A and B are shown apart, each in its own frame.
Chain A
Amino acid sequence: MIHPALWPPHWGFVLASYGLVITVLAIIITTSLLRLRRASQRLTLMQRLHDTAANPATRQEKD
């Protein structure tokens, strides 16, 4: 391990900058992908419900 005396100057500010940007990016990417997944699942569910409602034969089979 490099001795702290040899660390780059203002390493705390560097660490804070990179840490902040990486954390914010990770949060945005994760929430965006989760939102996309939820929206896809909801649309698939709605389409399935519509198909079932539009096709009574399928509904009777299921009943």
Chain B
Amino acid sequence: MFDEGTPLFVQIAERLAGDVVDGTLPEGARVPSSNEFAAFYRINPATAAKGINLLVDQGVLEKRRGVGMFVVPGAREQLLAARRDRFADQFVVPMLAEARRLGLDLAAVLASVEQTDRALPDHDPDRSGPDSGSVLTQTPAVVPRTPKEAS
């Protein structure tokens, strides 16, 4: 259920953040309580509370006294920005490390990225670079990623 890698409360926070990013928890929505989290994931309520508090500290969630915990307006954009910041560290660095081990040069990596991107079912030509547009032979249906389906 949980990986051993990160502390449990961080994983709880990450899951909650993920739900905010993909819209499962829309901005302004009430967040389940730490007890609900604890019962659902079979974890210690204090751990769940710690995870939730992490997001409060980051300004993603806010507590309204006597009412509960809610997603702060603008939280999704904030989380997305943070994730974009981490994108290189989290994904590009390991990819390049592996590429070096395999003896792939940068051009080969980029080519692979483009090729993979085109093969994805929800390929979005607008996002693709100017060169790759012409290579597009098939016309994949552009699937708009609505938050609900994304989850």
Whether both chains belong to one complex is answered with no
